Structure 1
Amino acid sequence: MDNSDNITAQTTPAETTGFSSRATLLICLIWLAGFLLVMLVSSGSLRDDVLARLETGAQQMHATINEELNPYESIASGIARMRTVKEALTGQQDGAALKRFLLRANDDMKTEALIVLAPSGFPMAASKDFGIDFEQRDFSFRPYFQQAMLGEQGRYYATGFITGQRGYFFSAPVWHNEKVIGVVVVKADLEPLMYRIKTLAPDYMIIGYDGVVFSASRSGWVYNSLYPLAETQRLAIHESRRYPRTSLVGLSSEPLDDIFHSDQIVLNATGLANRYFARRTRAPELGWHIFALAPSSVLFQDVAIYLLYYTLAFALLFLIWLYQRKRTEVQRHVKVLNAELERRVALLTRELKESNEELQELVDHYRTTQDQLKETRGQLVQTAKLAVLGEMSAGINHELSQPLLALNTYIENSQRLLAKSEYDKVGANLKELQQVAGNMRDIVSRFKVFARRTPPEPRPFGLQEVISGTRVIMKPLLSKSALELRIRQQGNIPDLFGDPVQVQQVLVNLVTNAADALEGDKDGWIAMDICARGKEVEILVTDSGAGIAVELRDKVFEPFFTTKARGLGLGLALSRRIIETLGGSLTLQETAAGGTCFVLKLPVYTHGENA
């Protein structure tokens, strides 16, 4: 496989795929010509579109403002005709009654404020609390008051000299006996309206006939003049008290004809001149010029997007052409590559086949090793069982010798009774013989099951079955050693899943170890505490012996480690392996009162679980 790196060299074409300088120049010129054409066409089209949208925005702003403000004029004339207003102005009612009336009317009409002025220009009552000195304020200088006192309805926009908020004021005269006895003023709050019209154009300005910007989308324009004002004009505007006192800086230095008729306007509010597209509409009924504006940068951004699209399309077409050119070139080398690849595939296939054969040999060897390991483990388990039975052989002999002696006695007694023809007593002896034989059979069968070498047979089983078998198997050894096995169970114990013989082998091994640790101790005991904890069953095997030295506790589960004079040292190692195979755990736990405590945990059987 050393020649595999040569394939790349063989697939690389000898010819270069670059372009000559003449071809490169031609492509650049084609792109540049298209770039200029797109820029010219798109800028003209987009400019017309921006101006059309601004024209529509200016008209919509005019219509929106009229729609919002026109109802207020009829509100002023309607309030002026109310009897309560006339009676208050003629002294037939006090100011408190008039104020209550204005409060109710203001809530119904949703106005900003309702004010009733006396012929002197001082307020009699208002629907809004303007401060303790409100009644001493003179409104006679306001044009809307002067118009109403002449018997006409008035309109006037201004910034309130009390609240400082922009508003539009509507006034109506109050007639009594063909004489004007007072003025009703309705104030419309312009702030919500100005917020609404901001969405109709990128930028806007509302300019009074005095040239002052009354409202705008940019705060730096407000209360400045659209064009430079003479000093006398500034003084007249300040004396009118229509706006807050500002320097009235001119926003544009262009001629007035360009400001009010050109498609573009240059504004300077922050020291930088910015060009805007502009469309205007007059609102003579309001006294305003409405400007809809858009920064010229909007056009540049849109043109840039069109140019980007053009460049991407040109690049795509160029890449398609380049792809076709490259494809034709690559096809010339495909035949050479195919021949080389077929040779390489044949070589690789032969090597892969050899590798597979070697791998198969390794797998077979691994399986053989696993089988041998499983066989060895089974032999070790069987050896451990036989070792336990060997240790208990003397107790088993004692456990069976007594029933055999009893059998012999019952047989001799039955023979004498037969000779005397006492058949009833013979039948009773036979029943006793049957019971003794059954007990012996039960003992032998338990040991037979325990010692039998069979593969594990997992199944659901109750722990009581295992405990009973353990008690029977351990009875000879415990009787011989005069030890007591205390079995304590807390509540109901759920079923487990596995091979009960394997679990029984582990318990027998733990109890046998405990009995060996208590050898010679007449007061010794062994306890087996059983309880269910969630999804596990926990079994604690505890003895009252001297316990295991601290330095040896980490070694008790190691194979061939033992502290006894006899034994192989495999019991605890095999027990832990068996329990882990069943999905549980076997650990050594410290006890406060001395002795040794092994904790065995097994998972609870789940319905539907199988081997």
Structure 2
Amino acid sequence: MRHRDPAVTADSMRALAAPRRLAAVLVVLALFLGLLALTFTLVRDRAVRDLGQRLEVTARTRVQALESVLAKQRAVAVVLSDDSLMREALADPAAGTAARASHKLERLSEATDSAVIYLLDRDGLAIAASNWNEEASFVGSNYGFRDYFSQALLRGEATQFALGTVSKRPGLYLSHDVAVAGRPRGVIVVKVEFDRTEANWSQAGERIFVTDAAGQVILSSTPALRFGPLPASGPGEVAAALPVPGADWRLVIRAPAAEATAAAVLATGTVGFLLSLALGGGVWAARARTRAARRAEAERRYRADLERAVDERTRDLTAEMRERRAAEQRLAQLQGEMVQANKLATLGQITAGVAHEVNTPLATIRLLAENGRQMLPEGAAPDVAGNLDQILRMSDRIAQITTELRGFARKATGELGPVALKEALDAALLLVASRRRAEGIRMVLPQIPPGLTVRAERVRLEQILVNLIQNAQEALSGRPDAELRIELHEQPDRVRLTIRDNGPGLAPGIAATLFTPFATSKPRGLGLGLVISREIARDFGGELTAAPSEPGQGASFHLDLPRLP
């Protein structure tokens, strides 16, 4: 029997085992590298998706903020387009109405956070502006070449994002025509600037752009890119885009994916390190498992924090959408009440015409009653004479009512002069007497000297008094002990009328916004009655204020007027 050499046999075994070991090493190395590549891909894709979700939530928040600003400023333009002072300024700017319109626009610009509000006549000339007292005032400049002017005259309203010719500052121009007797006589323009919005965007860490219908950048977190094309996305950037409702705009937000890549690299390195520890020994494997568990917990907390942040953003977005819907409902209600106000104005004109037409037959009735009274024979039945006397008294009463109705419906002249305070108050009380009698309200009136006159205009003074008395009567509706008290306080140069009721009084939240446009506690109120009344009082050189009120103590309003000798 032949015996094999042991050395030769061992060498042969080692020679055969070497390729198998090499193949095993290569397989392990391939699995190791494949696992690392898979880890990198999965982690990076997940981080990119999370970043995209965060960008979409942020984009919705930015869009809602822009939409809210546009809705508020459009409402300002719509309300001013139907303002009587704006129409008067267009009809006769040389009569001082243009200056009063500028003062009013200045106050509204501060209250609504508009950059500037201005009124253009039919030729595009600015006759009133909120920046009337600034060096770069728009008053006297012609904007007939602007698209927002020509389009507003043609279609009733327009929007345009452009660079200001005087201020050299970019902004959005919202315009609306001002119609008189159904024909456009001018255009009201509200300019909105977004400097603070862009400044906030620049600090957010993302790149934000707003483009118009042509794809041109009009707003950006990098103002230098404004009025150019939308830049191309950078390598590895993640983006989200949403349209801006109410404008033909699109908001684009971008952020670098470096965070996702860093997370993927970190996860890949972690997996490689763990595998190295696993291959190195049991102790290192145990430590690697502990660290992996910690990292898994941190990832779980990260995901939980991210989901919580998304939930909070979603709740905030839901609240903002709810506020936007409420604002839209408010705007629709405001437009409906404007239509109702126009109907009431038309009804007032019809009432004045009917009152005028009633005078002729009424005078005939009175004349016939007087003739019948004189032609009664002696000894006639006393009931006949009494009936004729009653007809004469009722005729006088009807004549008084129609006279006051025609006087209240008469258009204000805009000229100030001496007005008898007693006559104005009596006329206002007569116009609101029917509701007072229906509610059973007790009226306490002061003794006003017949010769007491104030500097005012009778029609507009009656308008203030009717508004204050009506508000008091509405507050007293349904009270069994309703009482409305009017007090007179005379000074050498001033006269104060105090209208006081014993109703529920003014709530603190309402008292703080009484003279703010569109602020009202009435379900169908417009929120302009007290604002307009205060403006009228100030035009007279007086003031309208509300006395401090405690709940349940009633409300009091003071009307101060200049006294004339």
User: TM-score of the superposition, structure 2-length normalised?
Assistant: 0.42
Larger Rg computed on CA atoms: 1
User: TM-score of the superposition, structure 1-length normalised?
Assistant: 0.39
